Structure 1
Amino acid sequence: MKRLVCLFAAVAACACGSAPEKTASDEPKTFKMIEVPALLGTPEERAEYVARNYWKNFDFSDTAYIRLPEVTEQAFAGYVAVLGQLPPDLAAVSVRTTLSGAEADTAMFAYFTELFDKYLYDPNSPVRNEEIYIPVLEYIVASDKVSEADKVRPRYRLGMALKNRPGEPAADFTYTLASGTTGTLYGVKADYLILFINNPGCTACKETVERIVSSELLSEQIARGRVKVLAVYPDEDLAAWRDYRSQIPAEWINGYDAQRKMTHDELYDLKAIPTLYLLSSDKKVILKDVPAGVVERYLAGVLGGR
């Protein structure tokens, strides 16, 4: 219920966007937010209506909107906020409805797919969401309005996105320690395993280490053995990795991928480093490619003071 309240707050915020100044030759173009029928009494019914009708008042055939990011992109940002509050199946329906509307014009379709890339795929996007991005890619790959040449990248991204999804078993691999001893992902025994794929000298990697170390909850659970961290270097500069070893806490498992399976076989989607996963005791993916703070919040919810 709280998520649906947030959804309608996001919709209300989107409706208040600014518009270009009126000119003598043209009325200003704006994004007109839909009105939710009063007869839809439950939050779930209202959410479904918003999801299916968000762009109802938007003219996808008017390409002038492409040159008005203060209107169109602002509305899209509000739309992404709405998608993030929806159940996955309803978000997927909404995505398909939106892209179907955007197919009214080739340029508009390209513009909307670029916006989906920017907001849902870009590693630097604060609202990046692969589970919502997957139906975008599926729609593009299946569309007869998109050439085979233009499907190459989305098809590749879709294949990577479908690997190691939440709820599915993580891909196993062998890691090698500095001593030469080897182990496997599935051989690490713990209630929860944080898989930390990193590179030497990576500023974001250093910040991730600091975030985990500074967390009282994570530090306590790691000390108790309920949570383990497997830090893995996926590349080939072992001299740099050995020089960097002291930067990884001693209680973590710190190894490298000697067989280069992560990169050569693309076992994991490493669009950005670091990449952080949270796995269950049976190595099913709980969280995929998330910041350390998200891992901390999840474990705080399931472990608390236990």
Structure 2
Amino acid sequence: MFARRLILFLLTLSAIIGCTREGRRTQTYTDEEGVVRLLPPAVPAGEQDSMAYLLDHYWDGMSFGDTLYSRDEDFVARALLGYRPYLSAGDSAHRTEAVRSLMSRAEVDTVAYVRLMDLSEELLYDREYYDEYLPFAEAIIESDFPSEWDKVRPQEQVRSIRLNRPGTLANDFEYVTLQGDTARMSDLRGVPLVLFFYNAPCHSCGTRADELGESPVITSALAAGSLRILAVDKWGDEESWREKVRSMPKGWIHGRNYKDFDSMELYIIDHVPTIYLLDSEGRVLLRDTSIEEIGQQLTSVD
């Protein structure tokens, strides 16, 4: 990252301010607070889907050869944030095509391209706007313009986004029960299932488990048999695990698996506890979710 920033700095110093290799300048306007922004196009009269039109044409006023603006991090960040609502409104295929065209245009200037790469990660991926970020990562991977090294992070991010994505069938796994038997997560299908991944020595995991056990919606569903909770210890010795189980809410199913969750092979577990909600057929409803979201989901189903 330092090397990339250094290259950006050196290239920026060598740029001629206002250079317009595309033969035109970026179209801007100044808002009421004095901030310079990209001028979005006017939607033609009679256009029935203004959001779709702006998904395709929002960047028409941007000249990526105009380095005064295309290399200005704050300016491009404002433009990208302004573009996000149109990304959100578009379907997957439309987003993919629009962003592919955008990134292709940015190839006119290496610094501008890298700036857009970095900002899409910072403002979309890091903020968990995964659907909006995915077409940027895919465009970077598919293009011959960036180096293979530059594609490594987007490739990992795409894999992360697609892994157990809501709407997909959750990866199955084995776990060892308190009785020492081997069971499978898929055996619990038939009613919605909460997956509670934790580490036995983790204090905050116990706190979050208590909060789950105190949720009226969740405890009511659990008592009615319309919900199951599988708590899986992914790190800790067996004695610590058994001790932890004794302090966790009643009615949960407990297991441990110390070999399948240390990487992204099956599930994304960047922190503990990590909670998923699956539907009765084992499809992901909520990924890395909260107790509040689970309660809302269960209530909406009812």
Q: What TM-score, normalized to structure 2?
A: 0.77
Alignment identity in percent? 30
Q: How has the CA–CA distance of structure 1 residues 148 and 209 changed in structure 2, closer, same or farther, with 3 Å as cutoff?
A: same
Partner of 1:23: none
8 A Cα contact 2:160 2:264, kept in partner: no
Question: Which of 117, 120, 123 is the aligned partner of 1:119?
Answer: 123
- Once residues 208 and 82 of structure 1 are traced to their aligned partners in structure 2, the CA distance between those partners, rounded to angstroms, is 36
- Once residues 159 and 291 of structure 1 are traced to their aligned partners in structure 2, the CA distance between those partners, rounded to angstroms, is 23
Partner of 1:163: 163
Which has the larger displacement, 230-239 or 102-111?
Answer: 230-239
Q: Supply the AA of the counterpart residue of 2:148.
A: E
- Once residues 77 and 243 of structure 2 are traced to their aligned partners in structure 1, the CA distance between those partners, rounded to angstroms, is 45
- Once residues 204 and 96 of structure 2 are traced to their aligned partners in structure 1, the CA distance between those partners, rounded to angstroms, is 31
| Structure 1 residue 142 displacement after superposition | 1.0
Q: Supply the AA of the counterpart residue of 2:43.
A: V
Question: Which of 50, 55, 79 is the aligned partner of 1:51?
Answer: 55
| Structure 1 residue 281 displacement after superposition | 1.7
Instruction: From the CA coordinates, give the structure whose radius of gyration is larger.
Output: 2
Q: How has the CA–CA distance of structure 1 residues 72 and 227 changed in structure 2, closer, same or farther, with 3 Å as cutoff?
A: same
8 A Cα contact 2:276 2:287, kept in partner: yes
| Structure 1 residue 261 displacement after superposition | 1.5
What SS does the aligned partner of 1:99 have?
Answer: helix
Q: Supply the AA of the counterpart residue of 2:286.
A: L
Q: How has the CA–CA distance of structure 1 residues 206 and 38 changed in structure 2, closer, same or farther, with 3 Å as cutoff?
A: farther
Partner of 1:26: none
8 A Cα contact 1:19 1:71, kept in partner: no
Q: How has the CA–CA distance of structure 1 residues 289 and 103 changed in structure 2, closer, same or farther, with 3 Å as cutoff?
A: farther
- Once residues 59 and 108 of structure 1 are traced to their aligned partners in structure 2, the CA distance between those partners, rounded to angstroms, is 10
| Structure 1 residue 234 displacement after superposition | 2.3
The aligned runs of 1:1-150 (5 Å cut-off) are 18-20=33-35, 29-41=36-48, 45-65=49-69, 68-122=72-126, 125=127, 128-150=128-150
Cα RMSD (Å): 3.0
Partner of 1:249: 249
What SS does the aligned partner of 2:195 have?
Answer: strand
The aligned runs of 1:289-300 (5 Å cut-off) are 289-300=288-299
- Once residues 204 and 131 of structure 2 are traced to their aligned partners in structure 1, the CA distance between those partners, rounded to angstroms, is 23
What SS does the aligned partner of 2:111 have?
Answer: helix
- Once residues 164 and 36 of structure 1 are traced to their aligned partners in structure 2, the CA distance between those partners, rounded to angstroms, is 38
8 A Cα contact 2:173 2:185, kept in partner: yes
- Once residues 37 and 96 of structure 2 are traced to their aligned partners in structure 1, the CA distance between those partners, rounded to angstroms, is 26
**Structure 1 residue ranges without an equivalent (≥5):** 1-14, 21-28
Q: How has the CA–CA distance of structure 1 residues 218 and 171 changed in structure 2, closer, same or farther, with 3 Å as cutoff?
A: same
8 A Cα contact 1:120 1:129, kept in partner: yes
8 A Cα contact 1:276 1:289, kept in partner: yes
- Once residues 297 and 17 of structure 1 are traced to their aligned partners in structure 2, the CA distance between those partners, rounded to angstroms, is 39
Partner of 1:183: 183
Q: Supply the AA of the counterpart residue of 1:78.
A: G
**Are positions 1:263 and 2:265 aligned together?**
no
Which has the larger displacement, 96-105 or 141-150?
Answer: 96-105
Q: How has the CA–CA distance of structure 1 residues 99 and 272 changed in structure 2, closer, same or farther, with 3 Å as cutoff?
A: farther
**Are positions 1:301 and 2:300 aligned together?**
yes
- Once residues 69 and 17 of structure 1 are traced to their aligned partners in structure 2, the CA distance between those partners, rounded to angstroms, is 21
Q: How has the CA–CA distance of structure 1 residues 73 and 184 changed in structure 2, closer, same or farther, with 3 Å as cutoff?
A: same
8 A Cα contact 1:229 1:253, kept in partner: yes
| Structure 1 residue 110 displacement after superposition | 1.4
Partner of 1:25: none
Q: Supply the AA of the counterpart residue of 1:152.
A: V
**Structure 2 residue ranges without an equivalent (≥5):** 1-29
Q: Supply the AA of the counterpart residue of 1:267.
A: L
Partner of 1:223: 223
- Once residues 211 and 45 of structure 2 are traced to their aligned partners in structure 1, the CA distance between those partners, rounded to angstroms, is 46
| Structure 1 residue 185 displacement after superposition | 0.6
Q: Supply the AA of the counterpart residue of 1:110.
A: V
- Once residues 16 and 239 of structure 1 are traced to their aligned partners in structure 2, the CA distance between those partners, rounded to angstroms, is 63
Q: How has the CA–CA distance of structure 1 residues 96 and 215 changed in structure 2, closer, same or farther, with 3 Å as cutoff?
A: farther
